Chain A
Amino acid sequence: MKSRILAAGVLLAAAVPILLSLGPSGPSALNGEPYIHDPSTIMVCDGKFYTFGTGSGGLVSDDGWTWRSGAVRPGGGLAPDAIKIGDRYYVAYASKGGGMSGGHAGAITTMWTKTLDPKSPDFGFHDDSVVVTTDGVEDCDAIDPAFLLDPIDGRLWLTYGTFFGYIRIIELDPKTGKRVPGNQPVNIAIDMEATAMMYRDGWYYLLGTHGTCCDGANSTYNIRVGRSRKVTGPFLDNMGMDTLKGGGKLVVAASGRFVGPGHFGLLDLGDGVQKFSCHYEADLDRSGRSVLDIRPLLWKDGWPLAGDNFQEGAYEIQSERSGYALELAVDFVRMAGGMRGFGPPGGPVTPIPPQDLAEVSKNWPTGTIDIRIGDYMVRPHQKWTITPVSNAGGYPGSPYFKIVIAGTDRTLTATANGEVVAVPAFAGSPEQLWRIDQLTDGAYRIMPKSMPNSTEPMALTAAGRSTPTLAKFDPKSDKARWNLRRL
């Protein structure tokens, strides 16, 4: 991006109207009307999900899957961020700069509210405070703020900046959201905007967006990362290149029908499930509008990278515990091509056809069938079709799925006593709707929307090497980790 001036111009001309425009839904990153630019870190308040964007307002969702306009914040301006500390939700935003009013004299304001629900009597932002400004000439433009509450010492930090000079970091008071008196900014990166920070295993990660903003399908926005042992840097990428010299390891770029990911925001759901929010500059299935997305966050060799929300298809469901596959508990049927001896091969080489579903399934019980885990043998009773279910709700990033034996209606179902079975047909009940979250190591957690007569979250778990059940998810164990291998 040449300058945030372009961003501002485009925003004023196009992006803000998009935020106000409610178009038809289609295949998308998220369901509903997830139209936003520069989304803040997603906040959870009273069971609802909120994010704020450039311009006024923002989005709200009841489940993290279907979004609508509805978040409220004052001040307008650019690219807010949010964080919850104690009983306060702090919001920071740029009230000027970034090319607004034709210059780079930026200013970042913080404020707080006790709830994000505009209908609550506790709703209302307080203590507006400008925490940093830039003069329009210096090598920094104070926009795009992002919070980090250091989990080690409880100190609160704010990064900010754009391509006009440096990314900088300052310290705020976590009790007030105001600037710590006497604190001086530290330069930590160039060639970035829309920064964010997070901490993991002794490393501070500085994420930022490279590339061109605000040009729809032609935006080259992509999210990159450097890391440091100190919150103030230096932040180096995987090649040892300092972010002050333009370094940054790729986290996510364009893919599929989505162009220009930017504005990383960590969404830590606990139990080892981490996701991140971003916007795409263009959803090609939605007129190239800027949309919100939530994707799994993976970690590989100490570096974050984007996972993909689960896609429908036919899969082997492999237990990380045993390496065996989830299957119907039915009689094993031998295939042609058994014992051939060890002598020299004879006769023509011919393919052996796959086992025929119709042939083997005619001997399966017609009613409910137990589920077990067994050696994967590419057999019909081990092949699962997983498809999203419309109008059944969802969870951050995805709709619920149904899981059936491929080519049949035999449906994976949670039972009231905490086990899993296959019933003859899908009825759409909560115990047949499955949440599939990718974990940070790339494996998956698989949970029913609910068990009959229970609201306790339970996960598909290998109670034994060959026996599945439902149990409280243990992020430290491989028992409830599953690999979904496309067939």
Chain B
Amino acid sequence: MHKIFKEYSQIIIAIIIIFLAKYFVSLSFLNEVIILAIFVMSCNFLLGYGGLLSFGQPLYLGVGAYATACYLFYFGQNPFIGIIIGLIAGVIFALGVGAVIIKLRSDYFALVNAALNMIGFFLAYDLFAKFTNGLDGMWFLTKINPLFGIDVTIEKNFFIFALLFLLIVLLLTKHIMNSMFGTICLAAKTDEKKLKFLGYNIFKTKLLVFVYSSLLASLAGSLYAVHFGFVCPSMMEQEKAGEIVATVILGGVGTLFGPLIGSIIIIGAKDLTSNIIQHWEIIVGALMVIIVITADKGIVGLANRVISKYKINLKNIE
């Protein structure tokens, strides 16, 4: 009981820290971090709890973004409903696609996602250009109505809006990680055969992980759409998929806060114009290899180790 309270309070503390950070860093930076963090959480959950590596996650980001965009452009003006539409689109899409590709071997799965990503990108900029305005993207900033009187497209309002969503996502994900389902997922990653013998439906488990992950990715996309009032095909660039995987590994695969910390570092590193940071691939690539080979959990893992060492030292002093 005490432990669970501690874990959930960590989430509250993290939200508070981010909230207070607005006095130190720009709001646009924080908003970017929140959206990216939710997206990275989707990939993190997919890899960490589903054991599924995908090189096509930007596709699911785009599904949510474009669904929301189409709603706000053609139909309604309520941003909250726009986001709900985006989420629904993400779930339906994931159910359809997942049912077919989950069964593939891991390298095929990663690759088919990449292929679907490319096809999705193509649909947005060419085949469906009549609806999506092709490469120029869709502008609908002026069409977004205020929510309960508050205009969420303004940076400081969106900040609160997105922060609330982040809170919900963190709480929900933590709940799933702690649940029986989460335990089954972790077991399925390493010992599929054993679990099958025990009667668990591995396919259903992985499908649920896939759907939840797509849900998060769609949410990130929808938030992006509502924040900027603009979507374009380049959000779905397949080339970005590798970067997302790197962020997942760096932050700590399978951890709750890994994506958040990883996002802060990646966006922060890209904003800095120092010479060393410009060659982020060298550092990130090397870290990826080292982290995976040493079975590390990235930065969160490092932090945990430091904290437990600190705790052990404290105990020894007593």
Bound pair (A, B): no
Q: Which residues of B contact A (CB under 8 A)?
A: none
